[in-house]
Amino acid sequence: MGPDALAAIFPEELIKQEMSTERWIPIPEEVREVLRLWRPSPLFRARHLEKALNTPAKIYYKNESVSPAGSHKPNTAVAQAYYNKQAGIKRLTTETGAGQWGCSLSLAGQLFGLDVRVYMVKVSYNQKPYRRSMMQTWGAEVFASPTDMTNAGRQILAQHPDSDGSLGIAISEAAEEAAGRDDTNYALGSVLNHVLLHQTVIGEEAKKQLEMVGDYPDMIFAPCGGGSNLGGIAFPFFADKAAGKDVKLVAVEPTSCPTLTKGVYTYDFGDAIGMTPLLKMYTLGHDFMPLGIHAGGLRYHGDSALVSQLHNEGLVDAVAVPQLETFEAGVLFARNEGIIPAPESTHAIAATIREAKWCAETGEAKTLLFNLSGHGHFDMTSYDRYFAGELEDSDYPEEAIKESLAHLPKVG
């Protein structure tokens, strides 16, 4: 795939970043000026949690929940809005499932004077009205997808008038609209190289903050869906490997959507229905749909090409954690550190707790760092269901993975 394939829906500067081999790309002052509304995000030492675990390990977390949208997503939304504005674009379209990304792009579009249209998966539109309200507060138009405004939407509605929608359909609608209008581009919230690039502000800050207290992590944990918050916190530490630092990077995923731990490394589509160019990545098959999982941001069948390559080369570890363990970890964290974490973030917390407990057994005083990618203020129904005993560890979806892997595209 070359730059031309992307030009219909992305501005030139973002395509250049997507293809760049430069180590450093400066952050424009206009972007910095907006990021300052919540950055640098705080780095905390989780002393109460350490005490509760009776561990000799030091646990640090980078708190990305302090952004107005409540997660790390605005870090790239702001940059994407800026470069689109510079390119003369007037409108952005995007899809959103749980609403984190739609909120972030709505906020960023508002701050740069771009109109934003969000295709929100219909089931989420109805179940998560507060995320929709946030997007509207930031001035965005939000539609329940499938809509009758696009060919893709109309096609689905003709076949399934009562369709609840899916992320794949919403992507098709948003991309179709952007491809068909000169004044409109499309924006994606994870997976792509330029998205991970923008998120490295997390790790760059964390390095400086740890330096201020004279510390350096032995291990870094981040939840991994599309890969942007993992790449964001981990890649800046990665560069130190050449300088002899031995930091271990761990991607944490749900056992119900075990892309890195159970997927295959091959070419596949980025979306569910096969519209995108092929990406070389770990994948469970583009039509794999995990059931019964409350971390909506970790339901992606594939993974960032960069994270995939590093995992394939043995430079990024991966671990899968079952759902109940993640909520148990989230509650332990909330009861000791105060913040109620998003279900995605609880994956990183669970893996960190495993390691901290291991340190308690071995007596090692390791320095652990995890990315608290977001708060759970709009996920309280998931906590409710956890307390009510209604959540389960979905079994390892062996049959579903086998079936979806059978649909992988044939690559010449």
State which of residues 344, 378, 397, 400 lies at the interface with its own copies (CB under 8 A). 378
305: DSSP letter: H
Nearest by Cα to 38 from 13, 74, 4, 7: 74
| Region for 64 from its dihedrals, namely left if φ exceeds 0, alpha if ψ lies in -120 to 50, beta otherwise | alpha
State which of residues 31, 339, 401, 408 lies at the interface with its own copies (CB under 8 A). 339
Pairing of strands 248-254, 219-223: parallel
* Interface region with its own copies, contact rule CB under 8 A, candidates 82-90, 130-138, 350-358, 403-411: 130-138
> In sequence order, what are the beta bridge partners of 374?
71
Q: Give dist(CA 403, CA 400) in Å, integer.
A: 5
66 binds its own copies (CB under 8 A): yes
**Which residue, chain included where needed, has tokens 């300052």?**
36
Contact flags string 280-319 toward its own copies, x per CB under 8 A? ----------------------------------------
40 binds its own copies (CB under 8 A): no
Whichever of 20 and 381 has its CB closer to its own copies, that residue is: 381
11: DSSP letter: -
Pairing of strands 248-254, 317-321: parallel
State which of residues 247, 331, 357, 367 lies at the interface with its own copies (CB under 8 A). 331
- Shortest Å, Cβ 204 to its own copies: 20
91 binds its own copies (CB under 8 A): no
137 binds its own copies (CB under 8 A): yes
State which of residues 56, 139, 274, 322 lies at the interface with its own copies (CB under 8 A). 139
127 binds its own copies (CB under 8 A): no
Per the CB < 8 A criterion, the answer to whether 394 and 292 are in contact is: yes
* Interface region with its own copies, contact rule CB under 8 A, candidates 106-114, 147-155, 172-180, 349-357: 106-114
- Shortest Å, Cβ 34 to its own copies: 8
Per the CB < 8 A criterion, the answer to whether 103 and 134 are in contact is: yes
328 binds its own copies (CB under 8 A): no
What lies within 8 Å, CB to CB, of 384 at 6+ separation is none
Q: Give dist(CA 23, CA 15) in Å, integer.
A: 16
- Shortest Å, Cβ 263 to its own copies: 33
What lies within 8 Å, CB to CB, of 248 at 6+ separation is 218, 219, 220, 317
134 binds its own copies (CB under 8 A): yes
Count of alpha carbons within 13 angstroms of residue 144, beta-carbon side? 12
- Lookup: tokens for 385: 């269901």
Whichever of 130 and 358 has its CB closer to its own copies, that residue is: 130
Binders in 203-262 for its own copies, by CB under 8 A: none
Nearest by Cα to 396 from 323, 316, 346: 323
324 binds its own copies (CB under 8 A): no
Whichever of 40 and 322 has its CB closer to its own copies, that residue is: 40
State which of residues 208, 377, 402, 407 lies at the interface with its own copies (CB under 8 A). 377
155 binds its own copies (CB under 8 A): no
- Residue 283, SS3? strand
- Shortest Å, Cβ 33 to its own copies: 8
Q: Where are the beta strands (DSSP E) in 284-382?
A: 317-321, 367-372
- Shortest Å, Cβ 37 to its own copies: 5
Binders in 392-411 for its own copies, by CB under 8 A: none
Q: How far is CA 299 from the centre of its chain?
A: 10
Whichever of 241 and 377 has its CB closer to its own copies, that residue is: 377
The secondary element (H helix, E strand) that includes residue 219 is strand 219-223
* Interface region with its own copies, contact rule CB under 8 A, candidates 16-24, 134-142, 274-282, 318-326: 134-142
Q: Where are the beta strands (DSSP E) in 104-169?
A: 115-121, 141-145
* Interface region with its own copies, contact rule CB under 8 A, candidates 5-13, 176-184, 268-276, 380-388: 380-388
Count of alpha carbons within 13 angstroms of residue 383, beta-carbon side? 17
* Interface region with its own copies, contact rule CB under 8 A, candidates 16-24, 119-127, 363-371, 373-381: 373-381
List residues binding its own copies (CB under 8 A): 37-38, 44, 48, 66-70, 107, 110-111, 129-130, 133-134, 136-139, 331, 334-340, 377-378, 380-381, 383-384, 387
